[in-house]
Amino acid sequence: MYPVMKNASRWNGYLFCGLLVVMMVYSIPQLVTFASTEEETLSLYLDGQLSRKFEQRFDGDLPFKTKSISFWSDIRYVLFNEGESGVVVGRDDWLYSNEELLIPNKLDEVLSGHLAKIKSINDELKLAGRDLIIVPVPLKAAIYPEHLKRPLDARLSGLYQKFLDDLKNSNIKAVPLDLTFNDYKAKNKSGAPLYLARDTHWSPAGANLAAQAVAQMFPDLVEGKRYQSATHDTTDYQGDLTNFVLAGNWLAGSIRAPEVVPVYETVPIVDENSPDALFGDVEQSIDLVGTSYSEIEAWNFRGFLQQSLARDVTSFSLKEKGPFVSMSEYMESELSASDSASVIWEFPVRVLLMPDERVESWQEALKNQF
């Protein structure tokens, strides 16, 4: 005798049939509507795409889908004060990406792997007669650990310096932003934060400080074209990490609130009295390769860099691809043949924590089949 259900009240059957009837009345019109709007159905049907398409629409239109998402997010937020996978909820309505806090078991091996790739990129650029300057963007959690609920792991707080040391030992130029950022934080207790509380990225203040640090560290890069950055307005910026907190507003209202970000614009200053104003020397541009820290206009990193270096900056930055893909695509692009003697590489340090290769298990591959 197996330990299984042996009997059940008939009410279970009645209730289940009632549920099925209600859902069938709801579902049939969905099927009819879909069938009447689709074209090329046979070819789509034969390779299984039609059924997937209908299934996706059916799932998306379920009347209780939104309520269900909120329900599970509310439970998650109330019981564990956490959002969806990918975010770490901190104190004072601060959010952090979990990518900054996940330490790989073989950290040293992972770091060596990344460093080897950086070295090879540096060598390749050197062969082309160009200088690589890395601008490592510190972990938000390392600059603002006070908003984390748990103390920051020592390996993470020491990661930036270790990376700088490794770069130095490999004769690769780098801008030590952590010192600049920490110094700013110490001197400007009530100043604008360098990172947005609920976004992965730095704020315009952080981007500006980083640009100034590049100019201070490498004064040779500074030329004579004058730029001015000014802010005339602010915008409500919805931080990317708030997308991971799906709990209802009544629970997580303040943590989902947009942040006020000043809108900067950088323009060249044209001195009309100068003899060079119209037919002056053409300034040489410098190439900036980066990630979303450079690509998103709200941070104005390129503009601040133009202002600090007093020269044009040509940006080759890609969102959501990471610094290595950006650099590899840059090196394959026409831009890599530009005259820029130096290449500034904005490099988020959190990337160093990601193992080079992620194994796709058969369980994940199976999921992708459906």
Contact residues for other proteins (CB under 8 A)? Answer: 1-16, 20-21, 23-24, 26-28, 30-31, 45-48, 51, 54-55, 58-59, 62, 64-65, 67-69, 71-72, 75-76, 79-80, 82, 84-85, 88, 98, 101-106, 109, 355, 358-364, 366-367, 369-370
Give least dist CB 153 to other proteins, A: 8
Decide if 201 is catalytic: yes
Residue 344, SS3?
strand
Q: What long-range pairs does 16-24 form, CB within 8 A, spacing at least 24?
A: none
The smaller minimum CB distance to other proteins, of residues 88 and 194, is found at 88
**Measured from the CB atom, is 83 or 348 closer to other proteins?**
83
Helices (H), 38-106: 41-46, 49-61, 65-80
Of the pair 12, 273, the CB lying nearest other proteins is at 12
Closest-CA residue to 354 (of 34, 98, 16): 98
159 near 370, Cβ under 8 Å?
Answer: no
Q: How far is the CB of 202 from other proteins (least distance, A)?
A: 22
Q: Reduced to 3 states, what is the DSSP secondary structure of residue 232?
A: strand
Strand partners of residue 233: 263
User: Minimum distance from CB of 358 to other proteins (Å)?
Assistant: 5
Is 199 annotated as catalytic? Answer: yes
The helix or strand, by DSSP H or E, that contains position 145, with its residue range, turns out to be none
Active-site annotation holder among 178, 199, 240, 312: 199
Tokens of 114: 């990344």
209: left (phi over 0), alpha (psi -120 to 50) or beta: alpha
Nearer to other proteins, 32 or 128 (CB): 32
- Is 147 in the active site? no
Minimum Å distance from CB 368 to other proteins?
10
List phi, psi (to 5°) of 36.
-80, -15
Sign of CA dihedral 298, 301, 303, 308: positive
Least gap, CB of 285 to other proteins (angstroms): 41
* Residue 132 dihedral angles phi and psi, to the nearest 5°: -95, 130
- Which is the catalytic residue, given 97, 285, 292, 315? 292
Shorter beta-carbon distance to other proteins: residue 35 or 341? 35
8 A C-beta contact, residue 261 and residue 234: yes
283: how many CB neighbours lie within 10 A of its CB?
13
Q: How far is the CB of 158 from other proteins (least distance, A)?
A: 17
Among 73, 201, 240, 317, the active-site one is 201
Nearer to other proteins, 1 or 278 (CB): 1
What are the strands, taking DSSP E only, across 47-127?
A: 87-89, 95-97
The pairing of strands 286-290 and 227-237 is unpaired
Show which residues are catalytic. 199, 201, 292
